Amino acid sequence: MTDLLIGLDDQTLTDRFVATRALTESLSAPLSAEDQTVQSMPDVSPTKWHRAHTTWFFETFLLEPRQPGYRPFNPEYGYLFNSYYEGIGPRYPRPDRGLVSRPGIAEIAEYRICIDRDMGRLLEDPGSESTMGLVELGIQHEQQHQELLLMDIKHVLSRNPLLPAYDTVCLPAPGTPSPVGWDSHGEGTYDIGHQGSGFSFDNEHPRHRVYLADFSMANRPVTGGEWIEFIDDGGYHRPELWLSDGWATVMGEEWESPLYWIPADGGWREFTLGGPIDVNPAQPVCHISYYEADAFARWAGYRLPTEIEWEVAASPLPVEGHFLDRGRLHPSPVTGPVPAAEAGPGNGPFGNVWQWTSSSYSPYTGFEIAPGAVGEYNGKFMVNQYVLRGGSCVTPPGHVRASYRNFFPPSARWAFSGLRLARNY
């Protein structure tokens, strides 16, 4: 994975590195030391772990191999803050990250400052396109962890009986969603996968040609109001709507609604990063699993799009939508114009909520895993996962594109995940 970036000048890369590192600290700023240490479930990582791990990434993959005589900030940090890179060495068990009370947030802050200083010197003269590519990978990696940081702290705070807010956010009043329309796409062959000289992850390659039959995709995501109709029609109690594993999960986990929804006075409230609010019937439903998305689509008489259909539909459109905004941190209502080409920030295919597809996460034909530990970034996870597309309201702006492939296990619900319907004509 040495040719990750082409045509980006050193100063722009330096500026982006500095801005990305600063944003992580800004996102952590509202949180106390106690907040930053809690791990509320095995899939969640403490905030301070995200801050340290993204720092370890730059130290391990750039400073150690490229700075002669470099001495690690703390040799024990490699064990504590390695995530899943088996080629690098042993790592502390993921489910136990919340038990690591030390180093504390002050020591993590010092670690970040020291590595940023050393990276600044490296960026004065990167020396090769390979080095620049790894810096860009580190920036993109940290952007992924910025979204994870917000996903994780939302779950942490939701487990507190006081339901405290992460920060002050400004959310629109409940409204009426725009009507559903359908954007049709004709039968034919299409090229999918990343193209061009900008950054991409290895799982977006190689670009290849596919055949598609006629299909249509809804011009907006499914809303909270539509999900309430699904609940009221017994959606969580009708086994005929569910995949076998999904129904077993619903029964075992006793799901009755999306994650973070709370029954209240005959209606529904939901926990947000700004605290509990009434469910807005015009906002995209969020924090649902693949199993729930699939069951809803079957209940509605439609289906989920494949990831190929989603990319074909999204590729001609600008990558515009509701992405990470410190003043919102919640999906925007789907109101306004209905044609996809004129869609507002809540309606278009990008931003707001990640959209489940019916596609298993697997390699494209001709995919090759890069040599070395960096090759463990995506390829090793291509099993037992489903693909999501589009980005969310906590995805950093500029991070996603039409070919971007996110993935989670089918039962995962703590991501900002929703759905968009499709049909065969």
CB atoms within 10 A of CB 240: 8
Nearest residue to 207 (alpha-carbon basis) of 364, 312, 359: 364
Q: In the chain, which residues fall in CATH 3.90.1580.10?
A: 182-423
Q: Report the distance separating Cα 380 and Cα 171, nearest Å.
A: 39
* Environment class of 244 (CB within 10 Å of its CB; exposed 0-12, middle 13-18, buried 19+): exposed
Q: In the chain, which residues fall in CATH 1.20.120?
A: 10-158
CATH code for the structural domain at 10-158:
1.20.120
Distances (CA, A) of 192 to 316, 345, 351, 385: 12, 24, 20, 20
Q: Are strands 275-278 and 267-272 parallel, antiparallel or unpaired?
A: antiparallel
Question: In the beta sheet, which residues pair with residue 423?
Answer: 216
Please give the chain's pLDDT, 425 residues, in tens: 333 333 345 669 999 999 999 999 999 999 999 999 999 999 999 999 999 999 999 999 999 998 889 999 999 999 999 998 988 999 999 999 999 999 999 999 999 999 999 999 999 988 788 899 999 999 999 999 999 999 999 999 999 999 999 999 998 888 899 999 999 999 999 999 999 889 999 999 999 999 999 999 999 999 999 999 999 999 999 999 999 999 999 999 999 999 999 999 989 999 999 999 999 999 999 999 999 999 999 999 999 999 999 999 999 999 999 999 999 999 999 986 544 444 445 578 999 999 999 999 999 999 988 777 666 677 788 899 999 999 999 999 999 999 999 999 999 999 999 999 999 98
Model confidence, pTM: 0.94
* Superfamily designation of domain 182-423: paralog of FGE (formylglycine-generating enzyme) (3.90.1580.10)
